[in-house]
Amino acid sequence: MARKRRTAASFAAVSMLALAATTLGAGTASAAPTFTFKCVHLTSPSEWETVAYNQDGHYVGLALFDQDPYGGSPGDALYATDAESDGYWVEAHLSTGRVASTRGHTAGYTAGPVTGDLPEDHTYSLSIEMHNADWTYSSQGCTAKS
């Protein structure tokens, strides 16, 4: 009789462990997404861009520096655009310390202009960062000129 109780208790313990392992699992492995970045210079108007693409090659964000004023927009202006509802926000960085951020806004939002007069004919670094709660992806700096 004692042996039957031990066997039943052992069976119950093993069953509970198996159930716990099945229920809790090891979690799902989730690979970090990857981004690629491209430097672009448009000459009319004179803009410098760092463009972000997701692992599928879709445009997801933009850091933009407008060199000169045009059409009512100021010159020496920094913008950040979040183009995709993917849980990331976008930060545009200019090597002067100027930052534009879409944090706290939904996709489709453009932050900026973040302005301030810069000396003419200087070269700066323009970069983009893709942020979420767990990850930050940063581009290398692209050339931007004032």
Element (H, E) at 21: helix 2-24
Range of the domain at 126: 36-145
pTM of the model: 0.77
User: Is the pLDDT at 26 greater than 50, yes or no?
Assistant: no
Tally of domains within the chain:
1
CA-based nearest residue to 109, from 91, 95, 124, 122: 91
Q: What is the pLDDT of residues 109-130, one digit of tens each?
A: 999 999 999 999 999 999 999 9
In a domain, 72, yes or no: yes
In a domain, 18, yes or no: no
Residue 105 amino acid letter: H
CA-based nearest residue to 131, from 67, 86, 66: 86
In a domain, 25, yes or no: no
* Distance between first and last Cα of the chain: 90
